[in-house]
């Protein structure tokens, strides 16, 4: 037997034809702008390209100035590959419309990658010639370009903190890439000055994304 | 929707004609504020236009559309709560004497009761009881467990029943 409440709930609210007309006009106006349609997979590719592309550019510059040898690069290849994979998984998880569980996995993978970066370093006795905070600043500086790309794409969907954080982690791999290529300090330095910079980049993406009005509320 | 994603703008008109009334009803129940509901209706369809590249082919359009509307409504309610927290509470009083079913005033009474539900419960009741969503669909949309979706809908429904008094009974 249907209760009064069920019958009440089944009643349709009155249609507001004027409001529907104005909404259709607004949507037509938006369509008339003929903005290009961006697929979310293309957005993932852009974020990964921004991070990995920047890392590759840094590697080429260092090689051109004789600061980096091919053998050194090959020695770091497993960690660099791990960073590219982390960037791709995190970007996919954050920008995919249905990636809630993948987002958790993305954070986990980023943590594992950060741990691998720290554990792969051997203790160094020599005093660094440059201030250690320079690494942090460089990381954040390099990460700023992918972060801007990531935040722009995050605006195309409803704001979700975990989504923004995981895309920020993807963007932050650019700085970690730089750290692997240009810094020979020990694990304490990597943990204190590299990994923290990665976290700063991720949190910056989260805060920027939260402060901006989304262009759409799509999942 | 797939035709619209492929660039056929006429397909949008068809989608709008088919679904706009339903979204309007959903938003009217969610926010009970004419101008805000219209604003959210526009936001929802502008989101469809702007984010059509985020629609996964092969999935159903209606849940995607209502998810956008629910996201927009939640965001608006959150902002409104924030504003109301800063100003004096001018809470709307429910009607003292509930009118009979079929009475036009009954709709207002139901709307008053709806607004007294927490937004999460209101959304769950509307989606499960009015839109016919399964608890699995609500859970997927909100990123919660199926049990949590069921509890929200059940608590919201029971609270509505209490608020409506004898009219909520069978």
- Map out the domains of chain A as residue ranges: 4-33, 40-211
How far B87 CA sits from the closest chain A CA (Å)?
23
Residue A158 at interface with chain B, using a CB cutoff of 8 Å? yes
> CA-to-CA distance for B162 and A31, rounded, in angstroms?
46
Closest CA to A205 of A154, A131, A135, A136: A154
Q: How many inter-chain contacts (A to B, CB under 8 Å) are there?
A: 143
Please state, rounded to an integer, the average pLDDT across all residues of chain A.
Answer: 91
CB contact under 8 A, A9 and B130: yes
Chain position carrying tokens 């939640």: B74
pLDDT in tens, A65-78: 988 888 989 999 99
| Percent of chain B whose pLDDT exceeds 90 | 39
**With bands split at pLDDT 50, 70 and 90, how would you rate the model's confidence at B86?**
low
Residue B130 at interface with chain A, using a CB cutoff of 8 Å? yes
| Structure tokens that stand for A55 in this block | 């890392």
Say what the pLDDT of residue B49 is.
94
Say what the pLDDT of residue B165 is.
76
- DSSP code for B147: H
Residue A157 at interface with chain B, using a CB cutoff of 8 Å? yes
Q: What integer is the mean pLDDT of B145-150?
A: 92
pLDDT in tens, B3-42: 888 878 889 999 999 999 999 999 988 887 888 999 999 9
Say what the pLDDT of residue A3 is.
65
Chain A residues with CB inside 8 Å of B68's CB? 158, 216-219
- DSSP code for B89: -
pLDDT, greater one: A170 or B107: A170
Helix axes B61-86, B34-50, angle to 10 degrees: 130
Say what the pLDDT of residue A128 is.
73
Chain B residues with CB inside 8 Å of A2's CB? 170
Q: What is the reported pTM?
A: 0.82
Chain B residues with CB inside 8 Å of A9's CB? 110, 125, 129-130
Chain A residues with CB inside 8 Å of B29's CB? 13
CB contact under 8 A, B56 and A42: no
Extract long-range pairs of A80-85: CB within 8 Å, 24+ residues apart: A80/A55, A80/A177, A80/A180, A80/A181, A82/A113, A82/A116, A83/A55, A83/A113, A83/A173, A83/A176, A83/A177, A83/A180, A84/A48, A84/A51, A84/A52, A84/A55, A84/A173, A85/A109
Say what the pLDDT of residue B112 is.
83
Say what the pLDDT of residue B102 is.
55
Residue A106: Cβ within 10 Å count = 27
CB contact under 8 A, B68 and A218: yes
**With bands split at pLDDT 50, 70 and 90, how would you rate the model's confidence at B110?**
confident
pLDDT, greater one: B83 or B20: B20
| Percent of chain B whose pLDDT exceeds 70 | 85
Chain B residues with CB inside 8 Å of A158's CB? 68, 71, 75
Say what the pLDDT of residue B97 is.
43
pLDDT in tens, B39-61: 999 999 999 999 999 998 888 89
Given a cut of 50, whether residue B149 has pLDDT beyond it is yes
> CA-to-CA distance for A51 and A185, rounded, in angstroms?
23
Say what the pLDDT of residue A91 is.
96
Low-confidence residues of chain A: pLDDT under 70: 1-3, 125-126
């Amino acid at each position: 037997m249907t209760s009064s409440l069920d019958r009440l709930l089944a009643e349709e609210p009155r249609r507001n034809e004027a409001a529907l007309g104005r909404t259709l006009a607004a949507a037509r106006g938006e369509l008339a702008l003929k903005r290009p349609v961006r697929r979310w997979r293309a957005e993932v590719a852009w974020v990964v390209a921004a991070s990995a592309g920047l890392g590759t550019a840094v590697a080429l510059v260092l090689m051109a100035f004789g600061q980096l040898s091919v053998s050194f690069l090959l020695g770091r290849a497993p960690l660099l590959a791990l960073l590219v994979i982390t960037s791709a998984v995190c970007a996919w998880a954050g920008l995919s419309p249905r990636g809630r569980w993948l987002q958790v996995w993305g954070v986990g993978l980023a943590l594992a990658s950060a741990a691998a970066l720290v554990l792969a370093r051997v203790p160094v006795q020599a005093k660094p010639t440059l201030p250690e905070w320079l690494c942090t600043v460089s990381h954040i500086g390099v990460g700023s370009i992918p972060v801007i790309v990531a935040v722009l794409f995050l605006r195309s969907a409803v704001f979700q903190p975990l989504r923004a954080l995981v895309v920020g982690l993807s963007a932050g791999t650019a700085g970690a890439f730089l750290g692997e290529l240009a810094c020979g300090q020990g694990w304490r330095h990597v943990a204190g000055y590299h990994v923290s910079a990665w976290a700063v980049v991720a949190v910056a993406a989260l805060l920027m994304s939260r402060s901006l009005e989304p262009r759409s509320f799509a999942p | 929707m797939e035709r619209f994603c492929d660039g056929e703008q006429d397909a949008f008109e068809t989608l709008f004609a088919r679904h706009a009334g339903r979204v309007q009803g959903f938003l009217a129940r969610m926010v009970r504020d004419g101008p805000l509901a219209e604003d959210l209706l526009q936001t929802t369809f502008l989101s469809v236009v702007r984010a059509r590249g985020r629609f996964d082919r092969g999935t159903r359009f209606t849940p995607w559309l209502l998810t956008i509307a629910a996201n927009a409504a939640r965001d608006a309610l959150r902002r409104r709560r924030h504003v109301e927290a800063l100003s004096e509470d001018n809470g709307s009083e429910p009607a003292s004497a509930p009118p009979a079913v079929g009475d036009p005033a009954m709709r207002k009474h139901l709307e008053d009761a709806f607004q007294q539900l927490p937004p999460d419960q209101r959304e769950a009741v509307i989606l499960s009881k009015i839109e016919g969503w399964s608890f699995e669909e609500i859970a997927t949309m909100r990123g919660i467990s199926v049990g949590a979706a069921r509890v929200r809908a059940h608590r919201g429904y029971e609270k509505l029943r209490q608020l409506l008094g004898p009219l909520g009974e069978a």
